[in-house]
């Protein structure tokens, strides 16, 4: 070292900025540099006793660094310019490692250009933490978008959570900070320490693009085993090849909605939830045995508060650590597909929670959220609203959607809270919202985003047949129409109107149902305006709404009979089906995320009977094309009796357009009706293939002795008719021979 240059070419201003953690470009000072005095190496290692430079080729010491600042800055001349390692003495504990600041940029100019263009595939490829090899050295590449930060450091156990140790390089063109940390491996915990442009050190931030996280209540990110995901041994090729047909509007789709953490808690082990391997062993055979075609999970992306049921996620690329490592989820999906069960995820793109370690004010500015609280704050949920008009935010969320489909082979995404995204005045009083550029209430940026998501899902290579489903509760037109036709591009929409109307009807005492008859028929007025899913979801059995069984009037027997009749109506009505866990066996209690469904009730005949009915309805629905093939086409349904409000009776035909035909009759009073004539299209024998009043389901076993023969008596516009016995509070299904 030159006596004339004790700082080895460093200016005192740079020294102060480095040791104070304020330097905007650490690579300009740290690592190998050529100075007037010769080749030098500089490193910032607070707490180190001494540092030597070791030639990577032969282990020879080629320089000893002097401590030029007591806060851990070391520098000195080296004998020659060649690859090297740092030998660090941590006061008796020796470590030898490559110098982070000896490596060049790790993201290519092309990758940066793609990120700058807000390419979601660039987000998937570049951002987050990725084990990799650089110049033959294994380590982890970190990259995070924080364009307005003054300094970003990656911190973790590997550097004692000291933000001075690993400040990152800013790639200005994309606003992305990057760093390669040698010898780091999968499993390492980390966060980002960010200094805002006004000099504030922000609360430590989790990685928005992390593939794995710590288990709550811990909030750190974890370097995932990328090779374990990228090279997962998928064996579901046959399922993927046939998925488009299985999930089309003409296919039978019966969805079992599940809160994964509480579906089956292990009481003897602290009431813990099952991990993905245990869920694969238990949930998949149960759902298939019940006849469901798909399981749909409430959001499984990592979320800090379990009481949000996943609807306030902070790591939208990471399966929650509550269920084990990410490979476990891949294992579950693969097992499900091998067995013939589809997997749908609830996905949240409307908002995110305001936890300090999350996305809020990520780089000290409103980066992911709107700056104006009239646009950026959800007063209903105390959450922040994504700024979907910002291209980088849109790309981030599109990348999240694609990640679940590409990395985990998920079959579909049910997009949460679409109504809240479409309208700027959603749940806001006058003066509390900002109109769009035309002065209207429509959220043009969110509309464009939703179209983009659906377009990307529709055309993404490697995800043939994947679907998107909108939870949308308004009369917004064209939710399932193609974007080129002015629609949003979803494949299906939850029919919230049908659900509200029919549950309102069922809640009424049968004496008064005659005055609410239209609630059961109105759904057919708009049944073909969209491709619908009929949802009896978790939303209907929480927050004091009571269970499905609890909504039914009458004594205990009548409550069960009402629910069975309602299920019969639902499963034979046009639209795909969705039922939340616990509803399939008519549990009394509301959904409680801290407890399991009340499985012990299956020991009681009435509850077991409802479960048996749901199983049989699913099997009938899947087996008979008349009940599903023309769900979204007018030719598949015809009212036979839609105006008998005096008796609260409904009758209708279902057909598949190819000769299969079903007649359904519902009696929503506790009064048996004998001699009830129904018009039939086809003559001959009609089998009674399902009767919700059957004894096996807990009913009174009143019915039609297995079937009826038509008479040449015209009725209800049909040339034939049959005289039926309608059981009390029951739905019967007749199939033409």
**Annotated active-site positions, please?**
416, 471
For residue 602, the surrounding DSSP H or E stretch is none
**Interhelix angle 326-339/391-408, nearest 10 degrees:** 60
Q: Hey, which bits of 573-684 come out as E strands?
A: 576-580, 637-644, 649-655, 661-667, 673-680
Angle, CA 285 vertex, CA 279 and CA 287 arms, to 5°: 90
Contact assessment for residue 300 and residue 345, using Cβ atoms and an 8 Å cutoff: yes
Q: H-helix or E-strand containing 398? A: helix 391-408
Q: Mapping DSSP to helix (H, G, I), strand (E, B) and coil, where does residue 644 land?
A: strand
Under a CB-based contact definition with an 8 Å cutoff, are residues 146 and 191 in contact?
Answer: no
List the one residue out of 139, 137, 170, 134 whose CA is nearest residue 156. 139
Q: In what order do the strands lie in the sheet with 93-98?
A: 31-35, 38-44, 73-77, 61-69, 50-55, 84-90, 93-98
Determine the 3-state secondary structure of 482 from DSSP.
coil
In DSSP notation, 423-456 reads: BTTTT--TTSS---TTS-SB-HHHHHHHHHHHHH
- Mapping DSSP to helix (H, G, I), strand (E, B) and coil, where does residue 189 land? strand
For the chain, the 3-state helix, strand and coil shares in percent, each to the nearest 5, are 30, 30, 40
Q: How far apart are CA 202 and CA 320, in angstroms?
A: 25
Beta strand pairing status for 649-655 and 661-667? antiparallel
SS3 of 65, please?
strand
Residue 321 CA to residue 700 CA, distance in Å, equals: 48
How many residues are recorded in the chain? 737
Q: Which residues contact 704 (CB under 8 A, 6 or more apart)?
A: 688, 691, 724, 725, 732
Q: Write the DSSP assignment of 211-234 as a string of letters.
A: SEEPPTT---EE---HHHHHT---
Q: Please, are residues 321 and 282 in contact by the beta-carbon 8 Å criterion?
A: no
Nearest-angstrom CA–CA distance, 101 and 357: 27
DSSP 299: P
What token pair was written down for 241?
């090849």
Find out whether 235 and 338 touch, Cβ atoms under 8 Å.
yes
Q: Hey, which residues does 373 pair with through a beta bridge?
A: none
The answer to whether the beta carbons of residues 446 and 386 sit under 8 Å apart is no
| Number of CB atoms found within 10 A of residue 370's CB | 20
Taking phi over 0 as left and psi of -120 to 50 as alpha, with beta for the rest, 592 belongs to beta
Instruction: Give me the residue label for tokens 């209207």.
Output: 440
- Burial pattern 673-712, b for ≥16 Cβ within 10 A else e, equals beebebbbbebeebebbbbbbbeebbbbebbbeeebebee
Structure tokens at 201: 């050190």
Q: Which residue has the tokens 């660039």?
A: 122
Here the tokens at position 5 are 């240059």
Give the residue among 698, 701, 729 at the shortest CA–CA distance from 605: 698
């Amino acid at each position: 070292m030159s006596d004339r240059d004790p700082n080895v070419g460093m200016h005192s201003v740079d020294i102060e900025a480095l040791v104070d953690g304020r330097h905007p470009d650490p690579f300009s000072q740290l690592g190998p540099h050529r100075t007037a005095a010769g080749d030098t190496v500089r490193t910032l290692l607070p707490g180190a006793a001494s540092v030597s430079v070791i030639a990577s080729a032969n282990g020879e010491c080629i320089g000893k660094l002097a401590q030029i600042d007591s806060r851990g800055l070391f520098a000195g001349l080296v004998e020659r310019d060649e690859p090297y390692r740092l030998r660090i003495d941590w006061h008796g504990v020796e470590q030898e490692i490559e110098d982070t600041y000896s490596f060049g940029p790790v993201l290519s100019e092309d990758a940066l250009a793609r990120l700058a263009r807000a390419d979601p595939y660039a987000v998937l490829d570049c951002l987050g933490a990725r084990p990799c090899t650089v110049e033959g050295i294994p380590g982890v590449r970190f990259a995070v978008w924080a364009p307005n930060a003054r300094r970003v450091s990656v911190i973790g156990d590997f550097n004692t959570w000291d933000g001075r140790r690993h400040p990152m390089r800013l790639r200005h063109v994309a606003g992305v900070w990057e760093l390669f940390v040698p010898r780091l491996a999968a499993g390492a915990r980390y966060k980002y320490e960010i200094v805002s442009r006004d000099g504030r050190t922000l609360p430590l931030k989790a990685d928005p693009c992390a593939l794995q996280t710590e288990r709550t209540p811990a909030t750190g990110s974890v370097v995932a085993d990328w090779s374990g995901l990228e090279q997962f041994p998928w064996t579901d090729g046959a399922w993927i090849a046939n998925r488009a047909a299985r999930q089309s509007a003409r296919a039978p789709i019966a969805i079992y909605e599940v809160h994964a953490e509480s579906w089956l808690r292990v009481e003897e082990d602290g009431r813990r939830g099952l991990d993905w391997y245990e869920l694969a062993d238990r949930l998949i055979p149960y759902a298939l045995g019940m006849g469901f075609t798909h399981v749909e999970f409430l959001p499984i992306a990592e979320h800090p508060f379990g009481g949000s049921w996943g609807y306030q996620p902070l790591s939208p690329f990471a399966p929650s650590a509550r269920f084990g490592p990410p490979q476990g989820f891949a294992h579950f999906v693969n097992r499900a597909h091998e067995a013939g069960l589809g997997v749908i995820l609830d996905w949240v793109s409307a908002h995110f929670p305001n936890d300090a370690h999350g996305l809020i004010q990520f780089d000290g500015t409103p980066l992911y959220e709107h700056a104006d609280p009239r646009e950026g704050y959800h007063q209903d949920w105390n959450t922040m609203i994504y700024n979907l008009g910002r291209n980088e935010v849109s790309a981030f969320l599109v990348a999240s959607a694609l990640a679940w489909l590409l990395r985990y082979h998920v079959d579909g995404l049910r997009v949460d809270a679409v109504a809240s995204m479409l309208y700027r005045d959603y749940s806001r009083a006058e003066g509390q919202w900002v109109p769009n550029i035309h002065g209207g209430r429509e959220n043009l940026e969110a509309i464009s985003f939703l179209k983009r998501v659906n377009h990307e899902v529709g055309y993404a290579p490697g995800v043939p047949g994947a679907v998107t489903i909108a939870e949308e509760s308004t009369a917004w037109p064209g939710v399932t129409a193609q974007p080129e036709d002015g629609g949003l591009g979803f494949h299906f929409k939850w029919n919230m109107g049908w659900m509200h109307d029919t549950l309102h009807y069922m809640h009424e005492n049968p004496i008064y149902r005659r005055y609410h008859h239209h609630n059961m028929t109105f759904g057919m007025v708009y049944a073909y305006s969209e491709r619908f899913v009929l949802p009896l979801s978790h939303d209907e059995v929480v927050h004091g709404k009571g269970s499905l069984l609890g909504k039914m009037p009458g004594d205990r027997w009548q409550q069960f009979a009402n629910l069975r009749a309602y299920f019969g109506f639902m499963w034979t009505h046009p639209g795909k089906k969705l039922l939340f866990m616990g509803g399939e066996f008519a549990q009394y209690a509301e959904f409680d995320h801290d407890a399991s469904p009340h499985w012990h009730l299956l020991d009681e005949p009435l509850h077991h009977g409802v479960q048996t009915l749901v199983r049989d309805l699913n099997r009938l629905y899947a087996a008979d094309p008349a009940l599903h093939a023309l769900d979204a086409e007018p030719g598949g349904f015809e009212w036979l009796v839609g105006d008998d409000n005096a008796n609260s009776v409904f009758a209708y035909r279902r057909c598949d357009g190819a000769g299969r035909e079903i007649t359904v009759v519902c009696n929503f009073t506790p009064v048996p009706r004998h001699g009830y004539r129904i018009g039939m299209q086809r003559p001959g024998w009609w089998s009674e293939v399902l009767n919700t009043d059957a004894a096996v389901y807990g009913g009174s076993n009143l019915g039609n002795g297995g079937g009826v023969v038509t008479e040449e008596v015209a009725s209800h516009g049909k040339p034939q008719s049959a005289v039926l016995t309608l059981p009390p509070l029951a739905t019967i299904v007749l199939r033409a021979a």
